[in-house]
């Protein structure tokens, strides 16, 4: 159930025997124990966490004698199975559900989430697309070198549900120019005041900062041209 890496390390170290604990438990309990062990790892990918949550969820349902599609468990006072997991791992139930949705993604899309190329929220929406639609999205991402935003993923999900998602509608959504992210920078007054005379007003400070930035930009351009 656990200790595979430790066992392998002992083999590499040439040990003939290792301490072990043998437990007589049912398969579902073993799966839950294995998932808990994997979730305790320091570096766990989103797809690995998603798979562990899903395996544990299904094992809890089987232990309670419930149908896999029924999300209510009798194991702990009629709590939902995903609620039990959420309490044990310190996540919200919604977050556990989002992770489990990632298991519905094509492997290539899962890897994009693992690599940080695709955010989790749009990935969850994309998980509702049919496998053929997900493969079409992969082709679009590759050909156009664009990643779907949350809004784009949500619209593709709606079109998929109505049967209107195809190559043309997907390309139209993915090729939309995304709005640039708003960037506001706020510098606390106490930070600025130590660089300016007390008589300087906020407007005077701003004007001085702009002039200094313009001077700095000119110097950078001159350095780049050398």
pLDDT of residue 127 exceeding 70, the answer is yes
Residue 28 and residue 61 share a domain? yes
Instruction: Show the domain range for 21.
Output: 1-104
pLDDT of residue 14 exceeding 90, the answer is yes
Work out the percent of the chain whose per-residue pLDDT is above 90. Answer: 41
What pLDDT shows up at residue 183? 63
Q: Which residue has the higher pLDDT, 132 or 43?
A: 132
Residue 65 and residue 7 share a domain? yes
Residue 87 and residue 19 share a domain? yes
What pLDDT shows up at residue 161? 95
Residue 112 and residue 77 share a domain? no
Cβ contact 18:7 at 8 Å: yes
* 181 is a domain residue: no
* 135 is a domain residue: yes
Task: Say which range, 8-12, 89-93, 146-150, 175-179, has the weakest mean pLDDT.
Answer: 175-179
Number of domains in the chain: 3
Q: How far apart are CA 47 and CA 45, in angstroms?
A: 5
Residue 64 and residue 129 share a domain? no
* 226 is a domain residue: no
Which residue do the tokens 């009629």 mark? 78
Chain segment 153-194, per-residue pLDDT in tens: 999 999 999 999 999 999 999 988 655 556 677 888 888 888
pLDDT of residue 226 exceeding 70, the answer is no
Of 68, 89, 104, which residue sits at a domain end? Answer: 104
Residue 132 and residue 94 share a domain? no
* 74 is a domain residue: yes
Q: Tally the C-alpha atoms within 13 A of residue 149's C-alpha that lie toward its C-beta.
A: 11
Residue 153 tokens, joined: 């993923």
Residue 88 and residue 135 share a domain? no
Residue 121 and residue 85 share a domain? no
Print the SS3 string covering the chain: CCCHHHHHHHHHCCCCCCCCCCCCCCHHHHHHHHHHHHHCCCCCCHHHHHHHHHHHHHHHHHHCCCCCCCCECCCCCCCEHHHHHHHHHCCCHHHHHHHHHHHHCCHHHHHHHHCCCCCHHHHHHHCCCCHHHHHHHHHHHHHHCCCCCHHHHHHHHHHHHHCCCCHHHHHHHHCCCCCCCCCCCCCCHHHHHCCCCCCCCHHHHHHHHHHHHHHHHHHHHHHHHC
Q: Which residue has the higher pLDDT, 43 or 148?
A: 148
Q: How far apart are CA 207 and CA 184, in angstroms?
A: 17
Of 104, 129, 164, which residue sits at a domain end? Answer: 104
Q: Which of 90, 25, 39, 35 is nearest to 57 (CA)?
A: 35
Cβ contact 167:139 at 8 Å: no
* 138 is a domain residue: yes
pTM higher than 0.75: no
pLDDT band at 129 (very low <50, low <70, confident <90, very high): very high
Residue 151 and residue 54 share a domain? no
Residue 109 tokens, joined: 């899309």
Residue 112 and residue 150 share a domain? yes
* 180 is a domain residue: no
* 187 is a domain residue: no
Q: Give me the mean pLDDT over the 4-18 stretch.
A: 92
pLDDT band at 138 (very low <50, low <70, confident <90, very high): very high
Residue 90 and residue 31 share a domain? yes
What pLDDT shows up at residue 134? 96
Residue 22 and residue 65 share a domain? yes
Chain segment 31-86, per-residue pLDDT in tens: 877 777 777 777 888 998 888 888 888 888 887 775 545 544 444 445 788 888 88
Which CATH number is 44's domain given?
1.10.10
Q: How far apart are CA 194 and CA 187, in angstroms?
A: 12
Cβ contact 124:97 at 8 Å: no
Of 87, 104, 121, which residue sits at a domain end? Answer: 104
What pLDDT shows up at residue 123? 95
């Amino acid at each position: 159930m656990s200790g595979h890496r430790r066992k392998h390390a002992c083999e590499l170290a040439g040990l003939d025997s290792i301490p072990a604990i043998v437990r007589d438990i049912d398969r579902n309990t073993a799966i839950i124990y294995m998932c808990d062990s994997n979730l305790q790892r320091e570096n766990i990918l989103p797809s690995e966490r998603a798979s562990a949550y899903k395996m544990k969820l299904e094992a809890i349902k089987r232990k309670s004698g419930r149908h896999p599609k029924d999300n209510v468990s009798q194991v702990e006072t009629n709590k939902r199975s995903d609620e039990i997991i959420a309490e044990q791992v310190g996540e919200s139930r919604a977050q556990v559900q989002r992770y489990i949705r990632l298991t519905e993604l094509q492997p290539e899309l899962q890897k994009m989430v693992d690599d940080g190329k695709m955010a989790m929220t749009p990935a969850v929406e994309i998980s509702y697309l049919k496998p053929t639609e997900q493969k079409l999205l992969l082709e679009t991402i590759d050909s156009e070198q664009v990643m779907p935003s949350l809004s784009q993923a949500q619209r593709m999900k709606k079109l998929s549900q109505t049967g209107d998602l195809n190559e043309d509608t997907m390309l139209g959504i993915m090729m939309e120019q995304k709005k640039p992210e708003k960037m506001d920078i706020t510098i606390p007054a106490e930070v600025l005041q130590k660089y300016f005379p007390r008589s300087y007003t906020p407007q005077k400070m701003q004007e001085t900062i702009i002039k200094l930035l313009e001077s700095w930009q000119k110097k950078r351009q001159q350095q780049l041209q050398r």
